[in-house]
Amino acid sequence: MLNTAHLSLEQAPPISIPFRFFLTAPLFGAAAGVVLIWAGDAAMVSRWSPIVLALTHLITLGFLTMVMCGAMMQMLPVLAGSPVPGAGPVGTLSHLALSLGTGALVHAFIQGSAGWMKLAVLLLGVGFGIFAVAVGLALARVKLSSPTVTGMRWALVSLVITVVLGALVSVGLFGVVSLNNLAAYTDLHLGWGLLGWMGILLIGVSYQVVPMFQVTPEYPKLMQERLTPSLLFGLVGWFLFETGVIRGYWSPLVPGCWMLLVTAGYPWFAGTTLRIQRLRKRQVSDVTLRFWRVGLIGILSGYLVWLIGRVFPDAATAPRYPLLLGILLFLGGVFPLVNGMLYKIVPFLSWFHLQNRQLALGAFHVKLPHMKGFIADREAKLQFHLYLAALFLALAALFWPVFFTRPAGAFLVLTNLMLGYNLLRAVMRYRGTKALLNPLDSH
Amino acid sequence: MEHLLDVSTLEPCEPLELTLSATRELPTGDYLKVVHRREPHPLFPLLEKSGFSWLCRPGGEAGFEIFIWHRGDRTAEGDVVHRALC
């Protein structure tokens, strides 16, 4: 049960804070498309190529983490009754540092510049440091916990570990410090980012937003109570086993077998979400549901490909195998889940803030737009189809890179520009209605 | 007198919209009973801001029942306590 006694919109950060995170994300998504067009088939060679490293971070940091940080700052006061201290300056500084840091990191990868890498590590370290301290304080102050709050706590721990490992790998990569077995540390960084920060946060938040926005039954109690703590425990175990391999204590089979157990939690979550979506009372399909189905199938497919790689290790040594996993899990899995949820969160926040303002001012002569009035269904569906094209073209580019890499990049640009346009229109609609509610405010 | 509103199968923000709209037409002395599948956290501060009192309890087929009446309306409050909760 959530803490309703302290629920108040006044505790939430100004709406401009989450909006700036949400509006920045599609710009980085489009930038990933531009890099793909510029690089062409060179982007499909190996996961270690600078282009792929730049692309991965444009999507994971610039798009996904950008949205997730903004949403977390907004959700904590509303869902957990615990505002982020100093939300205004914390939001402004962490958004700025995350944006500039991601830009610097991508530049460092493409140019092979140690100077830019140091700057990126500094900016991202400061940005995530401010974010983690402020959000960590808010999470520590939650009086009545819930499975969503637990998920947020473990996700934040995972984010800090991901950032520390990322900084370590970056400085190791550019020879600033000597790091034995860079590939294993990179895998740890990737695993904590994907399975911990993104995976645990998405699972924890889904417990609230899926039943609420998609009108489904609740997730099973066992899953809500046990899954995210088990995943964190599993990742800590993996970290210890993996460092044991790096130090030569035991065979890579040990962390490999351990991860077979740990990763089973993700298809369990994806399968359960698909099942409760099928049990909806009103079977009305909307664009968020479409994005979510693609994302959940993406996670299940990625898991299957990962399993095949464990059973047939020769298949996993192919240079494009990790690229296939990356496309399925990031572009086909987490990306559509976040994209789809933006189409619920942005209209809901806009409507809720306006409703609150209308009641405060008693301005009942102004008719507020419905939630669906903020983002037109037709434009959202068009963006979904552009996204689908980008995803399938990216998968095709793995097999025929010369023909499909640049078209995949072009559709990635288009879908992100369309997403940005749709979100911007929602924000403009919010501002227009807010000005009608209190004309003095608009001057 | 009780006014019943079932929003248990509606998507956000329809439950909030319909509930707030129903409160505007709620006569003094009556109360509104909202049947909801979840505890509608965002509704409560909006109700308080509009001059209403509320009581939310788990129960019913949908999951939650929310009773809403004009703040200070002793008749409606007494009805909620006696008829709905006893």
A116/A59 Cα distance (integer angstroms): 19
Q: What is the pLDDT of residue A9?
A: 61
Pairing of strands B31-36, B2-6: parallel
Q: Residue B56 forms beta bridges with which residues? A: B66
Q: What is the pLDDT of residue A161?
A: 97
Chain A neighbors of B16, CB-CB under 8 A:
352, 355
* CB-based contact, A9 to chain B, within 8 Å: yes
Q: Which tens digit of pLDDT belongs to each residue from A191-234?
A: 999 999 999 999 999 999 999 889 899 999 999 999 999 999 99
Within chain B, residue ranges assigned H as helices are 14-24, 43-49, 74-79
E strand or H helix at B60, and its extent? none
Beta-carbon separation of B9 and A348 below 8 A: no
Q: How many residues does chain A have?
A: 443
Chain B neighbors of A215, CB-CB under 8 A:
9-11, 37
Question: pLDDT category, A139, cuts 50, 70, 90?
Answer: very high
Q: What is the pLDDT of residue A443?
A: 42
Domain limits at B78? 2-84
Q: Which two tokens stand for residue A294?
A: 């693609």
Q: Residue B68 forms beta bridges with which residues? A: B32, B54
Give the lowest-confidence range in A17-31, A144-158, A295-309, A362-376.
A362-376
CA-nearest residue to B57 within chain A is A1
Q: What is the pLDDT of residue A384?
A: 98
Task: Give the Å distances, CA to CA, from A311 to A253, A299, A302.
Answer: 12, 18, 14
Helix (DSSP H) and strand (DSSP E) numbers for chain A: 17, 0
Q: Which of B7, B11, B48, B61 to mutate to test the interface with A (most CBs of A within 10 A)?
A: B11
From the list A184, A174, A269, the residue with the least C-alpha distance to A223 is A269
The residue ranking higher by pLDDT, A5 or A316, is: A316
In this structure, the number of other CB atoms found within 10 A of the CB of residue A311 comes to 9
A350/B17 Cα distance (integer angstroms): 14
Beta-carbon separation of A356 and B44 below 8 A: no
Q: Which tens digit of pLDDT belongs to each residue from A401-434?
A: 999 999 999 999 999 999 999 999 999 999 999 9
Phi/psi for B63 (5° steps) reads 135, -45
Chain B neighbors of A356, CB-CB under 8 A:
45-46, 49
* CB-based contact, B37 to chain A, within 8 Å: yes
* Identity of residue B65: E
Question: pLDDT category, A2, cuts 50, 70, 90?
Answer: very low
Beta-carbon separation of A370 and B44 below 8 A: no
Quote the Cα angle for A417-A66-A368, to 5°.
65
On whether ipTM exceeds 0.90, the answer is no
Tokens 């540390």 belong to residue = A185
Count of domains for chain B: 1
* CB-based contact, B82 to chain A, within 8 Å: no
Q: E strands of A309-418, at which residues?
A: none
* CB-based contact, B21 to chain A, within 8 Å: no
CA-nearest residue to A10 within chain B is B45
* CB-based contact, A283 to chain B, within 8 Å: no
Residue A320 CB-density burial (10 A; 0-12 exposed, 13-18 middle, 19+ buried): middle
Does B56 sit behind a cis peptide bond, omega within 30 degrees of 0 on the bond before it? no
Which residue from A79, A213, A359 is facing B12, i.e. has the nearest CB? A213
A254/A257 Cα distance (integer angstroms): 5
Q: Which tens digit of pLDDT belongs to each residue from B54-81?
A: 999 888 888 899 999 999 999 999 988 8
- Round the average pLDDT of chain B to a whole number and report it: 88
Q: Which residues contact A112 (CB under 8 A, 6 or more apart)?
A: A50
Phi/psi for B26 (5° steps) reads -80, 120
Report domain extents, chain A.
149-281
* CB-based contact, B61 to chain A, within 8 Å: no
Question: pLDDT category, A442, cuts 50, 70, 90?
Answer: very low
Pairing of strands B63-70, B52-59: antiparallel
From the list A427, A287, A273, the residue with the least C-alpha distance to A346 is A427
Phi/psi for B58 (5° steps) reads -70, 140
Tokens 């009754």 belong to residue = A81
* CB-based contact, A110 to chain B, within 8 Å: no
Model confidence at A347: pLDDT above 50: yes
* CB-based contact, A289 to chain B, within 8 Å: no
* CB-based contact, B62 to chain A, within 8 Å: no
Tokens 């996670």 belong to residue = A299
Q: Which tens digit of pLDDT belongs to each residue from A276-286?
A: 999 987 777 78
Beta-carbon separation of A348 and B12 below 8 A: yes
Shortest Cα distance from B50 to chain A (angstroms)? 6
* CB-based contact, A285 to chain B, within 8 Å: no
CATH of residue B63's domain is: 3.30.110.40
Beta-carbon separation of A7 and B42 below 8 A: yes
* CB-based contact, B16 to chain A, within 8 Å: yes
Quote the radius of gyration of chain B (alpha carbons, Å). Answer: 12
Which residue from B11, B13, B46 is facing A215, i.e. has the nearest CB? B11
In this structure, the number of other CB atoms found within 10 A of the CB of residue A285 comes to 10
A125/A166 Cα distance (integer angstroms): 10
Beta-carbon separation of A2 and B41 below 8 A: yes
Beta-carbon separation of B9 and A215 below 8 A: yes
- Strongest mean pLDDT among A45-49, A240-244, A418-422: A418-422
Q: Reduce the secondary structure of chain A to three states and give it as a string.
A: CCCCCCCCHHHCCCCHHHHHHHHHHHHHHHHHHHHHHHHHHHHHCCCCCHHHHHHHHHHHHHHHHHHHHHHHHHHHHHHHCCCCCCHHHHHHHHHHHHHHHHHHHHHHHHHCCHHHHHHHHHHHHHHHHHHHHHHHHHHHCCCCCCHHHHHHHHHHHHHHHHHHHHHHHHHHHCCCCCCCCHHHHHHHHHHHHHHHHHHHHHHHHHHHHHHHHHCCCCCCHHHHHHHHHHHHHHHHHHHHHHHHHHCCCCCCHHHHHHHHHHCCHHHHHHHHHHHHHHCCCCCCCCHHHHHHHHHHHHHHHHHHHHHHHHHCHHHHCCCCHHHHHHHHHHHHHHHHHHHHHHHHHHHHHHHHHHHHHHHHHCCCCCCCCCHHHCCCHHHHHHHHHHHHHHHHHHHHHHHCHHHHHHHHHHHHHHHHHHHHHHHHHHHHHHHHHHHHHCHHHHC
Chain B neighbors of A370, CB-CB under 8 A:
13-14, 17
* Identity of residue A203: I
